[in-house]
Structure formats: structure tokens, C-alpha cells
């Protein structure tokens, strides 16, 4: 029933909108795959703690049943590259095989914040090892599947930088302002270039937060500061595309599509509170997408979006409506990713976060479907197909 409603056909995927050209399905599911160390030193591994590691085939089949034929997922570089000078692929190859068995297209995050302990973030060794890891992963994917992968070399350069700089992730020794972001972009570009050299057919995707920041007052200084902070959201993409800091080697070659991560708390007053949906100062998502489209002239996709508990369906309804509005205004936007697609334990306190379409795994390895969101997904699939 659900697969028929959501547009999944035994004859293969069908595109739900003329804009959808990059992916097997317009709607996608994303699996939480963060693997960083917290500021207290504890290593997170969300692929394991969500149960995805042990139930990956069932998880992919569940996505396919709801018409989500493209997913975001990740490699755990901290495991694969734990031993200096060699790669152990045992934590990833079974996932590649499961995706192939389920008929799922995966956009693989090569670095979702986590990296091997023997590397210093941003160092020359970090950059070189990440490039080697990227090339080896691309070659292995071709060997296992016969196809080049879709990869997101580094997830959220901007957020990664912010989290380290404020100490939410482990701090680095004091470096000059802007150093870390430039080094992360350099590493991301080295990985992208190595991937292309290993297999010219590889496709490169990225994911960065889409935000809005309002000034704390109408004073000219506060307005200028808020606008500077808001525009900083585009800096990583400007670098990756060679429009800023061209000495890093970026260019149009580095991106097949740009992902935008948008959540209910992505708008706030500088130094103050979040601006909620429905507030008169809440900026419409469609306006933000038009701005990004005009700035980059690249295909876009919503690489992460979602809300918690009973707000899930209403938020998804809002995002889909705004994407349709953006399509009507000429924005080339290729897909929407529900993220995370499964419930997960919170980074800071392991609280149970009820998000996405699927519960934690039951004893049979299956997850319960959150029906209100599944029904909204079906309605939106029909609306985009009409």
C-alpha cells in the first residue's frame, strides 16, 4: 500500500518533478551518521547507537517501501582509518552491499565530523590522509558495485568550524581567525579532487546550513553585524566553488549539487532567541531558496530537514509547500531529505529524540513507521507528481 501511494514502482524509480535530475527519487531519507568526539572526549557513533549498523538492510528496504529510493548515509572514517597507513573497510562494505540489494541510491558522507584520533584537525597530514581515504573509498565502491558513488566529501564545513571554535567539539590550539574553515575547505577540496581522479564519474554533493539572523536592534551597527553573520553561511560554498580564496583550488568542478540543511531553529535574533515558524519575522523558506539559487546558479536540494514528535508532519508540509513555491519562481531544486529518518539518541545526553519516519528497531529488526508523517509524505508525493 505505502509503496504504491508514495510512488515507488516495481518498474523502477520515477521522477516526481521536472527539477529532479540528480537523484533516484525526489524525496530522500537521511541516516544520522555523526561520529565526532564530544568536548568531554566521548566518541559518538550514531550509525551504531541508532541500530542502523545492525539493521541496515531492513532500514534501506523500509525507505524503499515508502518511495525513498535515495538516502544520505555515511562512512566512519575514524574506524576505517584508525590504523595509520591502512584502511579497514569492514564497517562499510556491508552497507554498500545492503544498498545494492535494496535498490537504494546512497549519497555517502565521507566525513560527518569524525576523523581518526592520530590526526590533528586541519593539519597537512589531515588533508593528505583525507584525500587518500576519499580515493580509496571511491575505488572500493566501484569494485563492489560496478558504479561510481555519489559522495558528500565533508558535511557542514560551516557548522564543523563553529562547533570547534566555540568548544562544542574539542577545541584546537588557538589559531588565527578563519584558519580552520579554510583548512576544512582545503581538505574537502583535496578529497573531492582525489575522488574525481579515482573515478571521473563520481558525483559531488555538499550540505551546509541555511539560516537567517536578525539584528538585536535597529541600530546601524547591530544591523551590519547581523547581516555579516548571515552572509557567512555562504562562505564555505563560495570557497568550494572558487569564488572566494581561489588559491584553495575550488571551482565549479567541485559540486554537482549544493545541499541546504533547514530546521525549525535555523532562524534567530543575534544574541537572542529563535524565531519560530509563524512569527512575523520568520523568513519564508522559498525566499531563502531563491537567494541561494541566484547566488550559486547550481542545482540545489534540501539535504536535511525535520522536526520532532508531533511537529514532524506540519513541518514537512511547510517545507514542501515552500519548495513548490521556489520551483514556481525558477529555482532548480532536485530533492528533499527527511533527516534524520530514524529516531536517535541525542548527542549531549542520549535523550530519545523521536524524529523522522521510523522508530528505534524492534526485536525483529524492523522499525515502526510514524504514520502521520508517512501519510503526509504520500500526499506530498502526489502533489509533486501532479
Q: What is the mean pLDDT of the chain?
A: 94
- Spatial distance between the Cα atoms of 312 and 330, rounded to a whole number of angstroms: 27
Q: What is the pLDDT of residue 11?
A: 32
Q: Predicted confidence band at 146 (pLDDT cuts at 50, 70, 90)?
A: very high
Q: How confident is the model at residue 176 (pLDDT cuts 50, 70, 90)?
A: confident
120-129 confidence digits (pLDDT tens): 999 999 999 9
- Residue 4: pLDDT band (50, 70, 90) is very low
Q: What is the pLDDT of residues 36-78, one digit of tens each?
A: 999 999 999 999 999 999 999 999 999 999 999 999 999 999 9
Q: What is the pLDDT of residue 320?
A: 98
Tell me how many domains the chain contains.
Answer: 1
User: What stretches of 53-123 show up as alpha helix (H) in DSSP?
Assistant: 56-65, 77-80, 93-102
Sign of CA dihedral 340, 342, 343, 346: negative
What's 220's domain CATH number?
3.20.20.80
pLDDT for position 300: 98
Distance in angstroms (rounded) separating the CA atoms of residues 200 and 193: 10
In this prediction, residue 12 carries a pLDDT of: 35
Question: Is it true that the peptide bond before 17 is cis, omega within 30 degrees of 0?
Answer: no
Q: What is the predicted pLDDT for the residue at 173?
A: 83
Q: What is the CA radius of gyration of the chain?
A: 20
Mind giving me the DSSP string for 42-71? PBP-HHHHTSTTTSHHHHHHHHHHTT--EE
Query: pTM for the full model?
Result: 0.94
Quote the domain boundaries for residue 12: 2-385
pLDDT score recorded for residue 103: 97
Amino acid at each position: 500500500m505505502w509503496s504504491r501511494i508514495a510512488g515507488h514502482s516495481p518498474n523502477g524509480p520515477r521522477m516526481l518533478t521536472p527539477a529532479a535530475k540528480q537523484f533516484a527519487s525526489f524525496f530522500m531519507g537521511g541516516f544520522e551518521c555523526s561520529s565526532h568526539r564530544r568536548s568531554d572526549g566521548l566518541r559518538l557513533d550514531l550509525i551504531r547507537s541508532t541500530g542502523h549498523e545492525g539493521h541496515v538492510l531492513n532500514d534501506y528496504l523500509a525507505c524503499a517501501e515508502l518511495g525513498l529510493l535515495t538516502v544520505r548515509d555515511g562512512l566512519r572514517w575514524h574506524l576505517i582509518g584508525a590504523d595509520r597507513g591502512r584502511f579497514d573497510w569492514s564497517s562499510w562494505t556491508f552497507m554498500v552491499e545492503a544498498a545494492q540489494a535494496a535498490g537504494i541510491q546512497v549519497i555517502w558522507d565521507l566525513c560527518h565530523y569524525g576523523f581518526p584520533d592520530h590526526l590533528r584537525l586541519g593539519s597537512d597530514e589531515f588533508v593528505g590522509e583525507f584525500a587518500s581515504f576519499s580515493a580509496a573509498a571511491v575505488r572500493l565502491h566501484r569494485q563492489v558495485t560496478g558504479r561510481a558513488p555519489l559522495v558528500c566529501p565533508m558535511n557542514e564545513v560551516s557548522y564543523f568550524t563553529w562547533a570547534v571554535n566555540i568548544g562544542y567539539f574539542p577545541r584546537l590550539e588557538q589559531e588565527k581567525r578563519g584558519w580552520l574553515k579554510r583548512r576544512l575547505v582545503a581538505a574537502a577540496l583535496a578529497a573531492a579532487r582525489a575522488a574525481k581522479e579515482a573515478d571521473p564519474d563520481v558525483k559531488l554533493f555538499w550540505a551546509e546550513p541555511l539560516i537567517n539572523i536578525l539584528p538585536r536592534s535597529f541600530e546601524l551597527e547591530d544591523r551590519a553585524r547581523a547581516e555579516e553573520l548571515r552572509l557567512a553561511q555562504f562562505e564555505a560554498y563560495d570557497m568550494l566553488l572558487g569564488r572566494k580564496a581561489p588559491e584553495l583550488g575550488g571551482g565549479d568542478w567541485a559540486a554537482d549539487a549544493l545541499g541546504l540543511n533547514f530546521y525549525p531553529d535555523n532562524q534567530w535574533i543575534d544574541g537572542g532567541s529563535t524565531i519560530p515558524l509563524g512569527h512575523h519575522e520568520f523568513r519564508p523558506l522559498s525566499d531563502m531558496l531563491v537567494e541561494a539559487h541566484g547566488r550559486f546558479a547550481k542545482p540545489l536540494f534540501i539535504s536535511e530537514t525535520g522536526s520532532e514528535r508531533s511537529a514532524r508532519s506540519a513541518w514537512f508540509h511547510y517545507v514542501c509547500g515552500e519548495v513548490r513555491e521556489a520551483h514556481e519562481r525558477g529555482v532548480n531544486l532536485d530533492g528533499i531529505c527527511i533527516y534524520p529518518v530514524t529516531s536517535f539518541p541525542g548527542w549531549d545526553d542520549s535523550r530519545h529524540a523521536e524524529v523522522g519516519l521510523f522508530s528505534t528497531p524492534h526485536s525483529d529488526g524492523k522499525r515502526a513507521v510514524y504514520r502521520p508523517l508517512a501519510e503526509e509524505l504520500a500526499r506530498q508525493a502526489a502533489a509533486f507528481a501532479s
